[in-house]
A and B are shown apart, each in its own frame.
Chain A
Amino acid sequence: MATHTSEHHKYYVPEPSPWPFMLTVALFLMLGAAGFWLNGSTTVAPYIAAVGLAMVLVMVFIWFRDVVHENRTGAYGVQEDRTYRYAMMWFIFSEVMFFAAFFGALFYTRMIALPWLNGEGEKFFTNVYLWPQFEGAWPTNGPGNIGGDFETVNAWHLPLINTLLLLTSSVTITWAHWGLKEDNRWKLCLGLAATAALGAFFLYWQAVEYIEAYEHLGLTLGSGIYGSTFFLLTGFHGMHVTLGTLMLIIILLRCLKGHFSSHDHFGFEAVAWYWHFVDVVWLGLFIFVYIL
């Protein structure tokens, strides 16, 4: 009956915690109320949704505070560290698949749906009778000219600037990582601050681009399939950049408080991975949404 306590670290199993349940309640309030809001009840639903959202943020904050506290008090060893690494990799994989659905929609529309609307499928000429004026060329808002005429965003103006901003931010976060590994706090914090700032600039230019699209180009969410794919792809990406920027700011604050060391800083790395993921998605967007 040999026990192995001496050779093996005991995996950390946290105490019971009310926060996951409270987070669920918050999500339920937020989404339930959002559902009623969408259905047109505007008296209380928007406020409940807002309260739900605030609760979600608070619950996530408290939950992460517990995790950070456990980490700071030495509850985690090598095996726990590996858990967080694997979990973050798989989480990013799930995010990749989420974007894959929308990229898939874009590719399917351009490669299959549009040629078929143009008579490709059955090599028949129903389309000539139904929508003789429709050419099926990209960009398009379909045979119904849904949303009216529009122009596309010029890839070589704001989107190019945003590409350069995000690519630069990938460099700065790596530079910050080097700083962390060299125990150079100043380099770490400066690199992180620069990355967060570049993320914020990106979001600013994306907002400018959206306003431009709505006010001058006639390009809206309702501009047929082009508007649909354009705004949902870039919009979801923008939401991820927003989240990434918030995460960078939180990591920066933690660095300023003296958290992390050259050998124990997975919180930093998780955010860096996430940031690189957001960066790669953007490159896909730049090529397939803006240029091609």
Chain B
Amino acid sequence: MSTVNPTDTHHDHHDHHHGPVTLADGVWPWMKRWIGTTNHKDLGTLYLIFSFVMLFIGGLMSLVIRAELFAPGIQFVDPGFYNEMITLHALVMIFGGVMPGFVGLANWMVPMMIGCSDLALPRVNNWGFWILPFAFTMLLGTLFLSGGGPASGWTMYPPLVMQTGNALPLMVFAIHLAGISSITGAINIVVTILNMRAPDMPLLKMPLFVWTWLITAYLLIAVMPVLAGAVTMILTDHFFGTTFFDAAGGGDPVLFQHIFWFFGHPEVYIMILPAFGIVSTIIPAFARKPLFGHDSMVYAVASIAFLSFIVWAHHMFTVGMPVSAELFFMFATMLIAVPTGVKVFNWVATMWRGSMTFETPMLFALGFVVLFTIGGFSGLMLALTPVDFQYHDSYFVVAHFHYVLVPGAIFSIIAAIYYWIPKWTGTMYNEKLGQFHFWWSAIWINVLFFPQHFLGLAGMPRRIPDYATQFTDFNVISSIGALMFFLGQFVFIYNMIMCMRRSGKKATGRVWEGARGLEWTVASPAPYHTFETPPKIDPRELA
């Protein structure tokens, strides 16, 4: 049934000895390997490690925020530093944590899922990764400059952003660099998917993770340059006397919001479409049934991507737009609930009468379906223009987007790592610890974010270090949830490190009984170069 003999792929011209260089071969050769590597698996590992370092740093920042909000009044940090924390927390989590996490998964899995040897442009892949540590060194380094880090919120609205100190040009350049990384990475993934599929894999037979990444990469190529343009205008307004965002010169601060959210809304889907792909891969495996409505899933993702370009101004309902525009953006936004509903329906229908088991990846996928849907519903509430006039800039918005990003995007990354790490390392993770990690995370994430809905509805504004005393109780609960959730993640890190050190049960090639797809037809761990020639695909492995 397996059509590729893993040992066949080893006699390869640029691997002079068996397997890649390890630390045992010396520090310098080892560093050279990781700096110069063109291997998608190496780069996928680097991306994921970088992502988790950034999630850790961003998590520490959120703990500073939650510590400050533990009680009314100013406790630990001055309001300026608080603003730096909320700004960098968002930038680090979005551009350093979630996006590189998904790119890391795409690096590892896309070539293995479509049956090719590597990404189409391996050196560009290396470049795209190595830009990131430098970009974030630049961004986080601003904390040590006079005037501190950027404090305008990650949305960088003028005129507030113009008050940024010496951090401003470095923030702009860091975003340019991260943008280069995203665009090159996205081009690489699109080209790989369109050009490198095994001949037996037509587009509509691709696994959904590959499909969602194809569409995500398209969104990235379309909107990251727009963000680059927006921050460039901030730079020239600040240093070179242009007046894009200054009404005195005929410009308009609202113009920035339009450009920014033209990027920003597709960006939201950039951070969730790959998650849809992951969940659509994991649920069928553990329900032991093919995905219900595979093609409709593809069309739903494509519709969401299209709609994401025409809903941006729902972030700006209170800015003072004509009523006709408010109506258009409200209805267009609510329309997104239709394809999203299709997806949730299909996930549930896949499980219907399935032969289900609940290993850790499945638990995280199910947690995703339930909790992401809560975030989706609060999003639907925010889409209603008149209602949004009350919710805007309140903690309700914070609760909403954290529900879709943490138990949404980040749970899916965690689920994907549990699902595929036996394939990557050849070692099973510790299932008991995994189960504990899920339940711990699922409970505390709700303790952390659910009370924030109430805070927002009661009128607590976001991005303020102090609050009226009646908000104290829910803030205390939320802060406790934050600390406990954070601590629980070390269980995950420990579990994964044990896997990487090959300490645990050996994994089989198939790993999961119900798993389908090309990646499961090769040995675990997958050979360093997997499909150097296109495999012949058993139709049962196709979507």
Contacts and interface: CB of A to CB of B under 8 A. Distances in A.
Contact of A8 (B33, B188, B534): B534
A178 interface: no
Interface stretch (B152-160, B237-245, B476-484): B237-245
The winner among B130, B170, B177, B244 for most chain A CB atoms within 10 A is: B244
17 contacts: A2-B3, A13-B14, A14-B38, A15-B14, A31-B138, A79-B195, A83-B191, A87-B120, A87-B124, A87-B191, A98-B225, A100-B229, A101-B262, A109-B250, A144-B248, A220-B241, A228-B236
A27 interface: yes
Contacts of A121: 320, 322
B251 A225 contact: yes
Q: Across chains A and B, which 7 residue pairs bring their CB atoms closest together, nearest first?
A: A101-B229, A142-B250, A144-B248, A222-B241, A20-B127, A16-B36, A224-B249
A50 to B, nearest CB: 16
Contacts of A193: none
A98 B191 contact: no
Interface in B196-237: 196, 199, 221-226, 228-230, 232-233, 235-237
A146 B243 contact: yes
Contacts of B194: 86
A35 interface: yes
Given A20-B123, A23-B127, A32 B170 contact: yes
A83 B120 contact: yes
Interface stretch (B252-260, B333-341, B422-430, B497-505): B252-260
Given A32-B138, A108-B255, 8 more contacts: A21-B127, A35-B170, A82-B195, A83-B120, A90-B190, A140-B250, A146-B248, A224-B248
Contacts of A68: none
Contacts of A146: 243, 246, 248-250
B187 interface: yes
A1 B254 CA distance: 63
A141 to B, nearest CB: 6
A261 interface: no
Contacts of B79: none
B116 interface: yes
Nearest to A113: B252
Nearest to B171: A35
A20 B259 contact: no
Contacts of A98: 225-226, 228-229
A15 to B, nearest CB: 5
Contacts of A141: 243, 249-250
Given A8-B533, A98-B229, A221-B236, A144 B173 contact: no
A1 B535 CA distance: 10
Contacts of B3: 1-2
A34 interface: yes
Contacts of A210: none
A142 B250 CA distance: 4
A221 B225 CA distance: 22
A11 interface: yes
Contact of A105 (B35, B38, B233): B233
B162 interface: no
Interface string A217-251: 00011101111110110000000000000000000
Given A11-B116, A20-B123, A98-B228, A3 B134 contact: no
A228 B177 contact: no
A46 interface: no
Contacts of A43: none
A126 to B, nearest CB: 12
A38 B169 contact: yes
A267 interface: no
A5 interface: yes
Tell me the dominant secondary structure on chain B's binding face.
helix
A104 B173 contact: no
Contacts of B126: 17, 20-21
A13 B529 contact: yes
B209 to A, nearest CB: 20
Contacts of A222: 240-243
A263 interface: no
Nearest to B251: A225
B191 A86 contact: yes
Interface string B163-203: 00010011001001100100100111011001110010000
B473 interface: no
A291 B183 CA distance: 33
Contact of A83 (B121, B180, B229): B121
B170 A27 contact: no
Contacts of A140: 250
A39 interface: yes
A133 to B, nearest CB: 13
A221 B241 contact: yes
A113 B251 contact: yes
A117 B191 CA distance: 46
A71 B515 CA distance: 40
Given A35-B169, A83-B120, A101 B226 contact: yes
Given A38-B169, A93-B221, A14 B122 contact: yes
A94 B183 contact: yes
A97 interface: yes
Contact of B123 (A4, A17, A113): A17
Nearest to A24: B130
Interface string B107-140: 0000000001110111110110011001001100
Contacts of B8: 1, 3
A143 B243 CA distance: 12
A142 B229 contact: no
Given A11-B116, A31-B173, A228-B243, A20 B124 contact: yes
Nearest to A27: B177
B37 interface: yes
Contacts of B431: none
A25 interface: yes
A149 interface: no
A27 B37 CA distance: 19
Given A11-B196, A28-B138, A95 B533 contact: no
B353 interface: no
Given A11-B117, A86-B194, A101-B229, A3 B533 contact: yes
A21 B32 CA distance: 10
A90 B244 contact: no
B470 interface: no
Nearest to B220: A94
B196 A14 contact: no
Nearest to B180: A27
A105 B250 contact: no
B496 to A, nearest CB: 26
The winner among A97, A104, A231 for most chain B CB atoms within 10 A is: A97
B295 interface: no
Interface string A83-115: 100110011011101101110110011001110
Contact of A225 (B38, B117, B236, B249): B249
Contacts of A224: 243, 248-251
Contacts of B254: 113
Contacts of A286: none
B260 to A, nearest CB: 10
A65 B39 CA distance: 21
